[in-house]
Structure 1
Amino acid sequence: MSILHPYFIVAIVYMLFFSIQEVFGRKVDKKWFWFLGIYLIILVGFRDNVGPDYGSYKGLYIYSDTKSYYSIFMKMLHMKGPDQLEVEWLYTLINKILLNVFNAPFYVLTLVIAICAIFFKIEYTEDNTFYPFTFTLFMFIPYFFVGESGQIRQNLGTFIVYFAIRYIKQRKLWHYLFFIFLASGIHTVCYLFLPMYWLARVPLNKTIMLVLIIISVFLSPFEIYRVFGSFLDSMASDNILVNGLNGYMYESTERLNGGFGIPEAMMMILTFFLFTFDTKMKEKYPYYEYHRNYAVIGICFYFIFRNNPVFSSRLVGAFVGFSYVLIPNTMYVVSSGVKKMIYAFIIALVIFNFVVFSSFINIKVGRFTIELYKNHILP
């Protein structure tokens, strides 16, 4: 069993301290959440050869300078330019400007991406839960290491979309479309969120949710996603980055052939919370229905794409990231005794994820251990 670097343990202890306060005391001032964000920006933005795809992204950074601005502009218009762009136009443009104009070292790119991602993450979390520290702690392992420190393109793109939920609530279609446009310029998977402006308001009840989930489980062995051909491949694939993801998020042969693993357990937990607290959440939590609809889509997508390790992590993960906010939010609508039980369950999951992440190859492959983690400015 490997141990996370103390820098990450400090972040966990900090989140736990304020999590207890916000759940059992009073609301914590947002400035303390921003202090956490700044600290995480330093950890991920200035990392040195840390993260499962660090080398791949560094290669893309250098290669981006060979692309012309005209080709980037044509890619933005979804037209073909003289140069073939391996990744999306906005991400390529950020790379090219930093390297071509400022001749910046690679850690400047990771810093810029980290600042943007953490900003949108904080704003989204503050907008959608009364327990931001608890939710961030709950999602920290492994999502911080897979997202902010790993698949930085999809992570940034999805958090831009998460941030744009505020415009669904405000019914500002053009604002929402603008942020979808930006997010898809970072990662094409964000196009999947385009219909959510309308789907978020579709009325669902427990019967409809159950039927949709059962149908998805039934369809799982048939791999119906293959009818979409290269369309989904282009959304989920990062070319040279796919190998980095598959090596980092190891999928056992047994699980892909019908076994039961941690992803299935998390889907069961999410489904349990979805059905158990649906009535109370509809009555007491604002805009709960939006997150419920995202959760149902995420669960259904998971089972439909289950036999493909890339689709079931990339495409599904984007939706499930929305829906996990439901779990801490249930504490807002229950009695004091039930709140304590839910909180104890969340902390137990955090401890479980910590042990699993430290026990498997993930922590070493990503170089997050006390021996391997390096930072350009921290000792």
Structure 2
Amino acid sequence: MFLLCMYIALGFHKTSIVFLPAYWLVKIPLNSKRIFWVLILALLSSPFELYRLGGDLFSAIAPDDLSGAYTGYVDDRYYGTEVETGLNDIVKLFFIGILIKYDKEACEEVLWYEYMRNLAVTGLALFYFFRSNEIFAVRLPGAYMFFVTMFCMTNIVYATRDRARQILYIGFMTYLVAMFFYFGKGNGDKGSFTKDRYTNALW
């Protein structure tokens, strides 16, 4: 069933292949300390651009259109540059802090939270690992980053109590509304995700 879902996802966008390891990633035992060190190592490795070393390997194991897209974006003129430091980093730091601080409470209160948390941490780690290349840092972690906001943050709000829950709820709703307008007016139009222009490989 997982492979069937992956096949359908590939019809929407080829980069969804990066989600294939999710089936095994969810089973890795993590806690607050391990999350912290995984993200620190991903951030420290970013300046070395280690993803360049995987170009030949990726070409050998992936279809030509996928490997060609990967190697083509490594030094892309417009998107092959480093992600700009700004509001995006501040938001991610808040998310990381919340994930680490409330990990134990969420694991105790929410069934299967560990699975969603592992996928969220993978997305954050991929973002920092590929930070030197904008297109990779945005596209490749995308399927995992979804779990940060739509699953982990909402479940942490549920798992917390009293004042902490109120603050996290207001913060999350503020972020959600801001992202709705930002994406809809900016990236939605630019990426042809509007109702009249969107197409994919299946339909």
Q: Name the TM-score, length of structure 2 as normaliser.
A: 0.74
Are residues 236 and 269 of structure 1, via their aligned partners in 2, closer, same or farther at CA, if it must alter by over 3 Å? farther
SS in structure 2 of the partner of residue 281 of structure 1: helix
Structure 1 letter corresponding to 2:135: V
Is 1:295 the counterpart of 2:141 in the alignment?
Answer: no
- Note the alpha carbon deviations across 1:146-184, whole angstroms, 9 max, x for none: xxxxxxxxxxxxxxxxxxxxxxxxxxxxx2222223333
Rounded Cα–Cα distance in structure 1 between residues aligned with 2:35 and 2:143: 19
Q: How does 1:143-292 map to 2 (within 5 A)?
A: 175-229=1-55, 231=58, 234=66, 237=69, 256=82, 259-292=84-117
Question: How much has 1:234 moved relative to structure 2?
Answer: 2.4
Deviations 1:178-209 (A, max 9, x none): 22233334433233222222221111112211
CA-based RMSD: 3.5
- In 2, distance between residues paired with 1:191 and 1:237? 13
- Give the alignment partner of residue 321 of structure 1, picking from 146, 151, 159: 146
Any conservation in 2 of the 1:273–1:326 contact (CA below 8 Å)? no
- Cross-structure match for 1:169: none
Q: Distance in 2 between matches of 1:353 and 1:339?
A: 21
Q: Distance in 2 between matches of 1:236 and 1:187?
A: 15
How many residue pairs end up in the alignment? 186
Per the normalisation by structure 1, the TM-score is: 0.42
Partner of 1:306, secondary structure, is coil
Secondary structure, in 3 states, of the residue corresponding to 2:126? helix
Aligned mates of 1:181, 1:318 — CA distance in 2: 14
Q: Aligned in 2, Cα 1:295/1:366: closer, same or farther, shift over 3 Å?
A: closer
Q: Secondary structure at the match of 2:27?
A: coil
Farther-moved stretch of structure 1 (336-345 vs 208-217): 336-345
Unaligned residue ranges in structure 2 (runs of 5+): 60-64, 197-203
1:66 corresponding residue in structure 2: none
Q: Which amino acid aligns with 1:197?
A: Y
Report the CA distance between 1:357 and its aligned residue: 5.7
Q: Is the 8 A contact 1:187 1:235 kept in 2?
A: no
Return the offset for 1:236.
Answer: 9.1
Q: Does 1:339 align with 2:165?
A: yes
2 CA distance for matches of 1:179 and 1:275?
30
In structure 2, C-alpha distance between the alignment counterparts of 1:236 and 1:336, rounded to whole Å: 52
For the Cα contact (< 8 Å) 1:236–1:310, is it kept in 2? Answer: no
User: What amino acid sits opposite 2:34 in the alignment?
Assistant: I
